[in-house]
Amino acid sequence: MAVDEKNTPRRGAQQDRIDRRSRHRNWRRHHALMARQSWSRLFATPLPTLITLAVLAIALALPGFLLTGLKNVQQLSEGWDHEPRISLYLSPGLDDAAADRFSRELLLRDDLAAVDLISRAQGLLEFRELSRFGNIVDLLDENPLPAVITVQPLDRSLAALPVLKAKLQALEEVDEAALDLEWLQRLSAFVQLTQRAVMVLGLLLAMAVLLVVGNTIRVSIESRRDEIIVAKLVGGTDAWVRRPFLYTGAWYGLLGAALAWCLIQFSLLMLKEPVAELARLYLSDFEPMGLGLSGSLILLLTSLMLGWLGAWLAVGHHLRQIEPS
């Protein structure tokens, strides 16, 4: 029976030929069949399958969840990063007219985008409104607050901001200039560090996924030893023998991802209320992000690939050891 026209010239009179088209059709049919069979095989032993899937889901959900959290923190800090302001606390001796004049002078500078004067009276008013210590202020004879000018620099780069701050600080009218940047820098450094840590954790957990799938496939190969030997004896190629196991690995990846997605969404849901509460306390309308479409797709594809790869590694290793004898 001639199989490959290139490799096996026709010899015996009784041999059959299979044309290319029908072989291709058969190849696709076998893929579909293996996909279906390995799917139903998963649920032939539901408990071990579920346990494996739960392990995969947890290993996938942990980095997924942490990365989503980090994405939120980043988004939050980027929102602040884009509008750095420098607060200039004016000398206490400066009266309202002088402060007003000084703020107009600042407007003429070409390194500032906006200038906003908060006069002493205005500051007192806001203090009364926003803090609970309004009645303490009433006890004082005079307004203790200095006038404040907040300026928005044109150049928002992290390098330029401290320079500008120093320049403004040097002005005679300015008592103190404050740049609310250092904690942002610290936060950003912290986020970067955490991101790196999550990446390392993610890599380790990806390895765990590979090993878990690989081990599951190894057990499955062992239990189907006879089948593999017979297939090899009657001329099954490595690809043919490998196929059902690769589908099993891919299914594990896919189902693991689906379960991990549920875990992540559930955890985010649990956090939604406290985060909203926290945001309200900070007078922010911050809306926490979920995995989103792209995050979900990345989770799915990564997991699918890991499942397939884990199966491939296990099959590659063990199939060579199973030879008919």
Partner 1 sequence: MALISFENVSKRYLSGQEALSNVSFTLREGEMAFLTGHSGAGKSTLLRMIMLMERPSQGQVVVGEQNLAQLGRHELPYHRRRIGVVFQNHHLLFDRTVFENIALPLQICGYEPEDAARRVRAALNKVGLLEKENQSPISLSSGEQQRVGIARAIVHKPRVLLADEPTGNLDPELSEEIMKLFQQFNRVGTTVLIASHDLSLIERMRHRTLVLRNGRLIADGRG
Smallest distance from the beta carbon of 323 to partner 1, in angstroms? 7
Euclidean distance between CA atoms 97 and 75, whole angstroms = 41
Stretch touching partner 1 by CB under 8 A, among 22-30, 104-112, 142-150, 205-213: 22-30
Alpha helices per DSSP H over 172-291: 182-223, 225-233, 238-281
Smallest distance from the beta carbon of 6 to partner 1, in angstroms? 10
Of the pair 144, 324, the CB lying nearest partner 1 is at 324
Residues 305-324, one symbol each (x = binds partner 1 by CB under 8 A, - = not), give: ------------------xx
Contacting residues for 164 by C-beta, under 8 A, at least 6 apart: 86, 111, 153, 155
43 is a site residue for partner 1 (CB under 8 A): no
Of the pair 6, 132, the CB lying nearest partner 1 is at 6
Site for partner 1 in 238-257 (CB under 8 A): 238, 240
Stretch touching partner 1 by CB under 8 A, among 65-73, 152-160, 237-245, 248-256: 237-245
Q: Which of 114, 197, 230, 262 binds partner 1 (CB under 8 A)?
A: 230
Smallest distance from the beta carbon of 219 to partner 1, in angstroms? 17
DSSP string covering 221-243: HHHTHHHHHHHHHTT--HHHHHH
Cα maximum dimension of the chain? 118
234 is a site residue for partner 1 (CB under 8 A): yes
H and E: helices and strands count for the chain = 10, 4
Euclidean distance between CA atoms 118 and 105, whole angstroms = 15
Instruction: Give CA 105 to chain center in angstroms.
Output: 47
Stretch touching partner 1 by CB under 8 A, among 57-65, 233-241, 282-290, 294-302: 233-241
Among 242, 219, 246, which Cα is nearest to 231's? 242
Q: Which of 85, 109, 167, 232 binds partner 1 (CB under 8 A)?
A: 232
# binding residues, partner 1 (CB under 8 A): 36
45 is a site residue for partner 1 (CB under 8 A): no
Smallest distance from the beta carbon of 226 to partner 1, in angstroms? 6
Site for partner 1 in 188-227 (CB under 8 A): 226-227
41 is a site residue for partner 1 (CB under 8 A): no
Q: Which of 35, 231, 254, 279 binds partner 1 (CB under 8 A)?
A: 231
The 10 Å Cβ neighbour count of residue 296 is: 17
Smallest distance from the beta carbon of 50 to partner 1, in angstroms? 23
The 10 Å Cβ neighbour count of residue 82 is: 8
**Residue 303 CA: distances (Å) to CA of 63, 67, 114, 242:** 12, 15, 49, 20
Euclidean distance between CA atoms 119 and 90, whole angstroms = 10
Stretch touching partner 1 by CB under 8 A, among 14-22, 122-130, 260-268, 287-295: 14-22
Contacting residues for 58 by C-beta, under 8 A, at least 6 apart: 260, 263
Angle at 13 between CA 7 and CA 18, to 5 degrees: 50
Where along the sequence are the contacts to partner 1 (CB under 8 A)?
1, 3-4, 7-9, 11-16, 18, 22-23, 25-27, 29-30, 226-227, 229-238, 240, 323-325
